[in-house]
């Protein structure tokens, strides 16, 4: 038990208190309930921030946090339905969405994938909290009834929209889209196409990977005969390996951080120089589900592409879970390598 988990549990402990405040009649009971709802809602933000900053993210916290959020909001909404302050269909929509995402997270967990909160999902939570607060206050303050109806409508729209967003982002967990698991997956077909271009131009490639942990190299080596063009790679997960094996200057790492354009460029230059390839790609990113104690956003990715004409850096911010972000980074690196290879092949033909 730590402070973040204690804050999470406080939301569960607040449920019976809020239910009593909403049902029992005494002066200012609704106002007190609204104030407590706001206070305990804020713990949803605090517990995650504290856990990440102090490096005390735990499995218990990952389990309790989404459970507490859902029970906290839904319990209050059910009482509000009983009190005639909100239509039952609103609760059905919210509950259905939460159940759907919980099932999606469960499927992800069985495959070793953690589905982190998406930006639209966080907006949904803020809108739901705002709607519930106004629903409580509309009884003592009828003047807010029109505003409450509007906010509830917006909350429902965001609830449905964020549910669709989650299903689309993580559709591969349900068997749709590219999971990079099959020999005929789009990612591997993309790598096969790049291999054909490299053969055509008589070019070689090497890779330096951090967050992708060898995924880029694996899709190359899945191709029969890839030894003709794929020289090898370095999985530089720690800063020490980045410095020792790729020659990334310690000053660059300390001043810009491991996830930066400067480090991506140094990694690409380092692996190209040390393995003697014509082209090289590097990937460094924050795959998630946490930001590794930095203020940089989850999904932030830098890809370095080194070739005879110099080294370029490209930055992206992917919005999926850890696996999806790694897969997207790999796919983008192959795409960029393909663009560079086509340029070089075109030059040789002219």
Helix axes 29-54, 59-82, angle to 10 degrees: 170
Mean pLDDT of 110-117: 66
Mean pLDDT of 127-133: 92
| Domain definitions of the chain by residue range | 3-174, 186-349
Pick the CATH number of 3-174 from 1.10.760.10, 3.20.20.70, 1.20.120.1760, 1.10.630.10: 1.20.120.1760
pLDDT at 42: 87
- Do residues 225 and 193 make contact, with C-beta atoms less than 8 angstroms apart? no
Q: Which residues pair with 305 in a beta bridge?
A: 281, 312
Per-residue pLDDT band for 114 (boundaries 50, 70, 90) equals: low
Query: 63-107: per-residue pLDDT in tens?
Result: 777 778 888 889 999 999 999 999 999 999 999 998 888 888 778
When comparing pLDDT for 145 and 171, which is higher? Answer: 145
How far is C-alpha 339 from the geometric centre of its chain's CA atoms? 27
- Do residues 246 and 236 make contact, with C-beta atoms less than 8 angstroms apart? yes
Query: 27-62: per-residue pLDDT in tens?
Result: 999 999 999 999 998 887 787 777 767 777 676 776
Per-residue pLDDT band for 145 (boundaries 50, 70, 90) equals: very high
Residue 143 clears pLDDT 50, i.e. is over it? yes
Pick the CATH number of 186-349 from 3.40.50.300, 3.90.950.20, 1.10.730.10, 1.10.1580.10: 3.90.950.20
Residue 350 clears pLDDT 70, i.e. is over it? no
pLDDT at 291: 61
Provide the 3-class DSSP secondary structure of residue 32: helix
pLDDT at 110: 72
Mean pLDDT of 273-277: 96
Kindly report the backbone phi and psi dihedral angles of residue 269, in degrees, each rounded to the nearest multiple of 5, phi listed first.
-60, -40
Q: Tell me how crowded residue 224 is: count the other CB atoms within 10 A of its CB.
A: 8
Supply 190's token pair: 């993309």
Per-residue pLDDT band for 183 (boundaries 50, 70, 90) equals: very low
When comparing pLDDT for 102 and 281, which is higher? Answer: 281
pLDDT at 180: 44
DSSP 295-318: SSPTTEEEEEEEETTEEEEEEEE-
Per-residue pLDDT band for 166 (boundaries 50, 70, 90) equals: confident
pLDDT at 182: 47
pLDDT at 171: 77
Query: 325-343: per-residue pLDDT in tens?
Result: 898 999 999 999 999 999 9
Per-residue pLDDT band for 188 (boundaries 50, 70, 90) equals: confident
The dihedral sign for the CA sequence 88, 94, 96, 99: negative
Residue identified by tokens 């800063």 is 239
Kindly report the backbone phi and psi dihedral angles of residue 175, in degrees, each rounded to the nearest multiple of 5, phi listed first.
95, 10
Continuous segment of H or E residues that includes residue 268:
helix 261-275
């Amino acid at each position: 038990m730590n402070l973040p988990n204690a804050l999470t549990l406080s939301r569960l402990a607040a449920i019976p208190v809020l239910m009593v405040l909403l049902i029992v009649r005494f002066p200012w009971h609704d106002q007190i309930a609204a104030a407590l709802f706001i206070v305990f809602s804020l713990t949803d933000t605090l517990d995650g921030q504290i856990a990440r900053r102090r490096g005390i993210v735990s499995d218990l916290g990952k389990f309790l946090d989404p459970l507490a959020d859902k029970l906290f909001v839904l319990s209050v909404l059910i009482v509000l339905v009983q009190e005639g302050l909100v239509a039952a269909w609103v609760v059905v929509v919210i509950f259905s969405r939460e159940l759907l995402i919980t099932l999606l997270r469960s499927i992800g967990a069985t495959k070793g994938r953690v589905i982190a909160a998406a930006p639209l999902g966080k907006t949904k939570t803020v809108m739901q909290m705002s709607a519930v607060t106004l629903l409580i206050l509309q009884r003592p303050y009828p003047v807010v009834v029109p505003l409450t109806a509007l906010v509830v409508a917006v909350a429902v729209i965001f609830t449905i929209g964020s549910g669709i967003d989650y299903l689309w982002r993580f559709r591969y967990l349900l068997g749709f889209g590219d999971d990079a698991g099959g020999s005929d997956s789009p990612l591997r077909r993309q790598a096969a196409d790049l291999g054909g271009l490299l053969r055509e131009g008589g070019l070689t490639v090497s890779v330096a990977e951090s967050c992708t942990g060898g995924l880029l190299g694996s899709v190359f080596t899945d191709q029969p005969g890839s030894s003709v063009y794929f020289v090898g790679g370095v999985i530089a997960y720690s800063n020490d390996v980045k410095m020792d094996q790729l020659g990334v200057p310690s000053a660059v790492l300390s001043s810009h951080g491991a996830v930066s354009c400067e480090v991506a460029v140094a990694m690409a230059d380092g692996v190209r120089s040390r393995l003697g390839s014509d082209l090289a790609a590097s990937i460094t990113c924050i795959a998630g589900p946490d930001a590794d104690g930095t203020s940089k956003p989850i999904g932030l990715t830098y890809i370095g592409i080194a070739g005879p004409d110099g080294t370029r850096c490209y930055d992206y911010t992917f919005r999926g879970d850890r696996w999806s972000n790694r897969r997207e980074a790999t796919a983008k690196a192959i795409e960029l390598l393909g663009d560079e290879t086509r340029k070089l092949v075109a030059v040789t033909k002219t």
